[in-house]
Structure 1
Amino acid sequence: MYFKNISIYSLSVWLVLSSCSGKKEEEKTVYENKKFAKTEQNTVQLSEKQIQSVGLTTTNIQNKTMQKLVRLNGKVEIAPSHISSVSSIMGGHIKSINVINGSHFNKGQVLAVVEDPQFIQLQQDYLVTKAQLESARLNLNRQKDLNTSKASSDKTLQTAQADYSTLNATLKGLEEKLRIIGINAKGLSTGNIRSRINVYAPFSGFVSKILVNNGQYINPSDTLFELINPTGLLLELKVFENDVDDVKIGQEILVYNNQNTEQKSSAKIVSMVPNIENGGASIAVAKLSSPNPDFIRGMYINAEVSVNSRYTLGLPNESVVSFENKNYVFEDLGNRKYKMIPVTIGISDDSFTEVLKANYLKDKKIVQKGAYSLLMLLKNKAE
C-alpha cells in the first residue's frame, strides 16, 4: 500500500511537470509567432495578378532643385481708399438714375440728374453779378480819369475801387459754385439757364450700392451711390504660423479662384499684418499685377508662394504616402515583396517631395505608382 501511494504520487508529479512543460512550450510557440508577426507587419507580398492590377512601378531617390510651395487662401477685398460715396453738392429732387447695382461706368459718365429751383437762382445771381461788375469796371475807369484832373475826390475813387473789388470777388465765388455742380460759367447766358444738374462719376469702376430712387428729395449730406474703383482691389490671404517666416513683402505669387483653378494671375505681396490671430494665422495683403475682371469683392481665392529654392533629395509625390499623421515610402525587396519605411519629408512642389536625411534610401528601389494601394493592402492585412 505504501509503494502504491508512492507510485501514485510520482505519477501525479510527472503529470504536473509534463503539463507545465507543455504549457511553456505552447507559450513559447505563441510568443515566437507573435514576434514573427511583429517583424512582418510592415511588409506586404503581392501576387502577379495584384501587381498587374495595381500597375506598380518603382523609382530611386533623386537630387532635385526644389522650392517650398506655400499654399494660401483668402478673399478679395477693396482698399477703403478706393470705395467712394457719391453725393450731390446741392440738394434737390432726383430726376433720373442712369445706372444699376453692379453696372460698370466710366469716368465722367452721368450717374444721376438732380433738379431744383436753386440751380436757376445760382445762375441768375452769376449773370446779374457779371453785369454789375462790368458797370463797376466802367465807373472805376471814369473815376480814375476824373481824379487825375482833380474833378472828383479821392474818396469817390476809393469807393469805386471797393465796389469793383467786391463784385469781382462775388463773381469768382459764384463761378466756382457753378463749376462744382457741373455748369460752365464761361458759356452761361440768359438763353441757356437750366434747372437740372448732373452727378458725374469721379473715376471708372462699378456701382456697389444705390441708396436713392427717382423723385426722392436729397440733401447735400445724403449719399446717392457707393462706387468701387477696381484699381484698389486687394487680396487678403491667411498665412499660418509655420509659414509666416517664408512669406515676405515684395514676393511674387500666383492667385486663382475656385471656379477656374487653371487660370492663374500674378500678384505681389504689399503688406503683412504683424500679429497672429486666434485661428493661428496672420494676414498677407497682395495686389494684382494687372487688372482682372474675374476677381470681384468678396470672392474666395487661393494663392501659391514659391520660396526657399534648394538642391536636395526627393521622390515623386505619389511615392510618399501618409497614415495617422506620419509619412512612409515602400521599398521593393524583390520577389513581389514590399516593405513600408517611415520617412521625414520637407518641402514639396507640384511633382516632387523632399525627403530629409534620405541617404539610407539611395541604393533602394522605391515604389512610385501603387504606393497608396500597398498602404491599403498592408493596413487591411493588419486588421
Structure 2
Amino acid sequence: MMAFTRILKVSAALVLVLAIFGAGYFWGLRSKNGSPFASGRSTSAETKDTRGMENMPGMEGMAPGTVMVSPDKQQLLGVRTASVEKRPMTRIVRTVGTITYDETKLTRVHSKSEGWVEKLYVNYTGKLVEKGQPLFSIYSPDLLATQMEYLLALKNQAQFASSSIPEVKAGAASLVEASKKRLMLWDISEKQIRDLGERGEPQKTLTLYAPHSGFVIKKDVNEGMKIMPDRELYTIADLSTVWVNMDVYESEIPSIGVGQRATISLSYYPEQVFTGKVSYVYPYLDEKTRTIKVRLEFPNPGFRLKPDMYVNAEIKIDSGRHLAVPEEAVLDSGLRKIVFLDKGDGHFEPKEVKLGAKMDGFYQILSGLKEGEKVAASSVFLLDSESRLSEAMGAMAGMPGMEEMKMDAPAKQGPLEKKVQNLTITLSTQPAKPKAGENILRLKITDQTGKPVKDAQVSFQYTMTMQGMVPSKTEAKLSKDGFYEAKTNLAMVGEWEVTVVVRRSGQKEVQEKFKVVTHSEETK
C-alpha cells in the first residue's frame, strides 16, 4: 500500500511538471479574448480553465492567466506600472554617411578649339579659384583666323557706314554680328571682343577664365601641351554646399521623406552638430546589402566639411501623438505580443496587443489597450511565468484524484559543508530557513586544524537555473563572529545555485557550488 502511495505521489509530481511545461503550449493557443484554448469552446469549458482558483479572494470574474501579486511581492520582484497614454512619437534613424561633392555645382572646363597651351595660371590641384579668374592662355590657328574675320567685318562696316544703300549697311552689320557670335561660341568674353575691336590687331593667344568659383579638384593640362576640344582640362567643385550619402534599411524608407531635418556629427568636431535636410531618396535598392541610398544636403561655410569624410548621420522623424507603452512592458513571444494589464488590487491580466512602430523606447499601440489603463512596465518575464503556472495549476485542478493529493514539504535548509584544499567551508543562511526575498549568506572557513581563516576575500554568485536569468554577484565582509557575510536578494521561491569564490594570497582560488532552497513567508 505504501509503495502504491509513493508511486501515486511521484506520478502526480510528474504530471505537475508536464502541466507547467504544457502551459507554454496553452499560451501559444491563446485566442483573442485571452483564453489559452482554441476559440469555439463552451462557457463550461472556459470555466474549467480557472477551476481551483474561483474561490481565491478577489479572483471572481478574472480572465484566465490573471495573476495576483501582493504589494510586498511587487516591490520584491521590482514590478512597476506605466500608464497607457498618448505621447509624441519620434524616431531617429542613425547610420554612418560619407561626404561627397554637390554634383549640381561641379564644373568641367574644356577648350572649344584645338590649340597649344602658352601660359598656365592655375597650375595645381586644390587651388581655390574665383569666377572670372584666368586659368590658361591658348594659341589656336582657328581662333586667330576668327579674330581676323571679325576685324575685317568691322572694317567693312566702317567702310560702308556712309553708303546710301540700306541693304549694304545692313549686310556689313550682320557680318560683324556673325563674327562676334562665333568668337563667343569659343568662350571669348564680351570684354575680350570689345578689346579686340579697339586694338584692331588680332591676339596670338587668348585667355580662358574660370566659369564658376570653387576648388580645382582635377587638372589635366600643362604648359606647351596640345589640347583638343574633347579633353577635360579642369574640374572645379563649389564646396559651399556638400552632400552626404547614407544607406538605410528598406524597412525605414517609408518614414523618410524629402525636406526632413537631418544632422551630422564628426569625431574631430565634437563640439559641433551640422544641420541640413534630406534632399533625395534614390529609387533603387542595393540587392547585396538590402539598403537604399538617401542623400542629405548641408551648407558648408568655412569649408569645414570635406568630401570623403565619414560622419555620424541622424534623421529625426516626427510621427505625431499616438497611444503608446514602454517597450519593457511588451512580452514578444514571436507569434503574439502580450502586456500585463493592471486590474487593481494586485491583479495582472495578460492582454494581447497589436503594435505599431517602436520609437524612443516606446511601442505604438494600434489595438488592445485604451488610454488611461495601466500595464506592468518591468519584471514582465516573472509575471508571465506566474501566469503560465497559474493556468497550468487551474487546468490540473479538475483532474480526477488531484483534490486528494498532497505534496511533501521540502526538506529544511541546514548548513552546507565542503572540504577543499585543506579548508572546510560551511555555508549557512540567516534566517536559517531562507525565504523568498532578502537573506544573509554566511560562510565560515576553517583550516585543517579547525582554526578560522580570516585573511580571505569571499564573494557569492547566485542564480536560479532558468533561461534568461543572469547571475548576481556580491562581495562578503568578515563579521565579528568569524563569518563572511553578504546580503542577497533571492527574489523567488525555489532552488538557487550559490557559487562561493574564496581567494587567498599565494593560494589557488577556490570555487564551490551549493544549493539553497527558498520558501514563501507563509510556509511554516
Q: Which residue of 1 aligns with 2:88?
A: 66
Aligned to 2:216: 207
Q: Does the CA-based 8 Å contact 1:78-1:234 persist in structure 2?
A: yes
Q: 1:228 and 2:237 equivalent?
A: yes
Aligned pairs, number: 317
Structure 1 pair 262/217, CA: closer, same or farther in 2 (3 Å)? same
Q: Which runs of 5+ in 2 are unaligned?
A: 24-77, 341-351, 380-462, 473-495, 498-524
Amino acid at match of 1:195: K
Q: Deviations over 1:307-354 (max 9, x none)?
A: 312143444x8x689999999999xxxxxxxxxxx999755555x434
Higher relative contact order (CA 8 A, sep 6+): 1
In structure 2, which of residues 175, 178, 183 is the aligned counterpart of residue 173 of structure 1? 178
Whole-Å separation in 1 of the counterparts to 2:124 and 2:467: 57
Does residue 379 of the first structure (1) align with residue 470 of the second (2)?
Answer: yes
| Residue number in structure 2 paired with 1:185 | 193
Picking from 93, 115, 118, the partner of 1:92 is 115
Task: Kindly provide the CA deviation profile for residues 251-273 of structure 1, in whole angstroms up to 9, marking residues without a partner as x.
Answer: 42222145357643333434444
1:255 equivalent in alignment to 2:263: yes
Secondary structure of the residue aligned to 1:172 is helix
Identify if the C-alpha distance between structure 1 residues 209 and 33 changes in structure 2 by more than 3 Å, giving closer, same or farther: same
- The residue number in structure 2 matching 1:280 is 290
Write the mapping of 1:249-328 to structure 2, written as runs, cut at 5 A.
Answer: 249=258, 251-259=259-267, 260=269, 263-274=272-283, 276-278=285-287, 279-288=289-298, 290-291=299-300, 293-301=303-311, 302-315=313-326
Amino acid at match of 1:287: E
Which 10-residue stretch deviates more, 235-244 or 195-204?
A: 235-244
CA contact (8 A) 1:96 1:114 kept: no
Could you give the per-residue CA deviations for residues 267-318 of structure 1, whole angstroms, max 9, x where no partner exists? 3434444555424344444434x44534444444423131312143444x8x
Q: Are positions 1:126 and 2:150 aligned together?
A: yes
Q: 1:110 aligned to 2:110?
A: no
Q: Which has the higher helix share?
A: 1
Provide Cα deviations, 1:65-105, integer angstroms capped at 9, x if missing partner: 22231415444455654333211232322221415333332
Look up the equivalent residue of 2:188 and give its one-letter code. I
Cα distance, 1:223 vs structure 2:
1.4
Give per-residue Cα distances to partners, 1:20-59, cap 9 Å, x unaligned: 87677667668878999999xxxxxxxxxxxxxxxxx996
The question of whether the paired residues in 2 share the 8 Å contact of 1:132 and 1:167 is answered with yes
The SS at the match of 2:158 is: helix
- Name the SS of the counterpart of 2:161 in structure 1: helix
CA distance in 2, matches of 1:85, 1:26: 88
CA contact (8 A) 2:255 2:317 kept: no
TM norm structure 1: 0.60
Deviation at 1:174, TM superposition (A): 2.9
Percent of aligned pairs sharing the same letter: 16
Contact 1:87 1:224 in 2 (8 A): yes
Question: What is aligned with 2:205?
Answer: 196
The answer on whether the counterparts of 2:329 and 2:376 sit within 8 Å (CA) in structure 1 is no
How much has 1:235 moved relative to structure 2?
4.2
Amino acid across the alignment from 1:61: A
**Structure 1 portions without partners, runs of 5+:** 1-13, 40-56, 145-156, 331-341, 368-373
